[in-house]
A and B are shown apart, each in its own frame.
Chain A
């Protein structure tokens, strides 16, 4: 009979509680390469759960870099080579070199557009896009989504988001994964589902409407993985443990799709952040107490002016716009 070895079984063994018969079982089990891989996974997990001490990882990386520098051959120090038997004319070499340089630099500077397709929205714009696999992404204002051009060839459904977007991911027959990455190293993996990602100012918030999502992010030196359920909202910020809230109404997360705004005791200061994200506007306040005023209410605004008018109407304020700067002041000013 093939021995079946569970995680608990191996953990007992790592903790030194396995009998000699059990050890023999493990020795046999590990002979299968796939089991050997599992063994080292369990070992890694065990070490993470029962560390002997806290290792200074950044220090390790620094030492590694230092070592590389010390051992790298000094610049200008060339390895002597045997003289070539036949000399090609210098001119031919220069020509070949400059053509190569030209091609390489063209590829380098244009690599973004060669390797990726970018979808973007302007300030105040909300737009849906269909991806090559039939998934639909609705981008909120000032957002950018990059997709590899080799998607269909490599089969890796991977996109990179900065800004805010709703994803309606289409399930594939082969069960291929769909991965969303952000600039603060959050990774969201799904098969087919609907969810919203907010990623601005190095903060990421993910809300799940339907299906199942796996979110990976980094806290300190460890990589954490969280499984999300519908209605969950996860907020990730650099070097802080993720915050999870359950029972969210997903419809509220995508109010922006109808250009609807909903505020509940939201300070004008928070709203100025939205103004910046959505319309590239900077808010200024005539008095400090204007800044801390809060707004409660809901409205639809098709553009920046409608947005500002609604805010002022709800708050009894007035505004003056010059260029990208908006100054709020009290009516009796």
Chain B
């Protein structure tokens, strides 16, 4: 075989097992490289940042907000601030830590606002809650979204499926109704009940924190 050319026929060779699987933990070299690019060419640097962190940040955010659109909006907004305020010049620790902290704070606030608001009042002024009200312990973030996950798990099978289609995928009620051969009214009720169950479950565990939050607001 000709050693000079990476031969076509070898491409179907199986990759050595375990090699590509280990690659989920890239070195810090990327971060150095991204930092350098951001300073010399911010727009190109932002692209690298997107390629590197957009996916894991969105999938983390979605645990708090359970809606992919909201998750992506939150992450995009953080990236936008990162760019327009030139945060990349100011951050001394890793971008990774900064970005994940920002996502967790936003996710936490969003979820708390959602749990706190009146179920029937969509436009609640508490949405503009101060963002610095954050838990003291890092593990409280995990506890909060894991509680939400547990609550979803407790839902009856069909209600869970309807809720996830509506909440996570952002499918319109009409479309879900058509697919399941149910009335839109039924779907709406199912979604409402699911939300109520999740809210009650999480509230019962987080009431003190939520109360404190309300007191600070007024």
Q: What 1/0 flags go to B26-57 for Cβ under 8 Å of A?
A: 11011000000000000100110011111111
The total number of A-B Cβ pairs within 8 Å is 176
Task: Look across to chain A and name the residue whose beta carbon is closest to the beta carbon of B16.
Answer: A244
Nearest CB on B from A37, distance (A): 5
* B72 close to chain A: CB less than 8 A: yes
Q: When the two chains form their complex, are residues A61 and B50 in contact, meaning their CB atoms are under 8 A apart?
A: yes
A residues less than 8 Å from B59 (CB atoms): 47, 51-53, 55
Among the stretches A130-138, A217-225, A303-311, the one at the interface with B is A217-225
Out of A41, A60, A189, which one reaches B96, CB within 8 Å?
A41
Nearest CB on A from B82, distance (A): 11
Q: How far apart sit A54 and B20, CA to CA, in the bound complex (Å)?
A: 18
Q: What 1/0 flags go to B2-20 for Cβ under 8 Å of A?
A: 1111110011010110011
B residues less than 8 Å from A273 (CB atoms): 5
Nearest CB on A from B115, distance (A): 19
Out of B4, B80, B94, B146, which one reaches A37, CB within 8 Å?
B94
* A187 close to chain B: CB less than 8 A: yes
Q: Which parts of A244-298 form the interface with B (CB within 8 Å)?
A: 244-246, 252-253, 255-256, 261-266, 270, 273-274
Q: When the two chains form their complex, are residues A40 and B94 in contact, meaning their CB atoms are under 8 A apart?
A: yes
* A64 close to chain B: CB less than 8 A: yes
* B152 close to chain A: CB less than 8 A: no
Nearest CB on A from B161, distance (A): 16
A residues contacting the other copy or chain, number (CB 8 A): 73
Q: When the two chains form their complex, are residues A226 and B19 in contact, meaning their CB atoms are under 8 A apart?
A: yes
Q: When the two chains form their complex, are residues A235 and B11 in contact, meaning their CB atoms are under 8 A apart?
A: yes
* B199 close to chain A: CB less than 8 A: no
Q: When the two chains form their complex, are residues A218 and B51 in contact, meaning their CB atoms are under 8 A apart?
A: yes
Q: What 1/0 flags go to A38-61 for Cβ under 8 Å of B?
A: 011101110111011111010011
Q: Hey, which bits of chain B sit against chain A, CB under 8 A? A: 1-7, 10-11, 13, 15-16, 19-20, 22-27, 29-30, 43, 46-47, 50-60, 62-63, 68, 72, 75-76, 79-80, 83-84, 93-94, 96-97, 100-101, 137-139, 142-143, 146, 149, 168
A-B contact pairs, 30 of them (CB 8 A): A13-B142, A16-B149, A18-B139, A27-B138, A37-B96, A41-B25, A43-B56, A43-B60, A47-B55, A47-B57, A51-B55, A51-B56, A54-B55, A55-B54, A55-B68, A60-B76, A64-B79, A67-B76, A164-B4, A198-B4, A216-B26, A216-B29, A218-B51, A225-B22, A235-B6, A243-B11, A244-B15, A244-B19, A245-B10, A246-B16
Q: A37-B94, A57-B50 are in contact. List 12 more A-B contacts (CB 8 A).
A: A16-B146, A16-B149, A37-B93, A40-B97, A48-B55, A49-B24, A51-B59, A55-B59, A57-B54, A60-B50, A244-B16, A252-B3
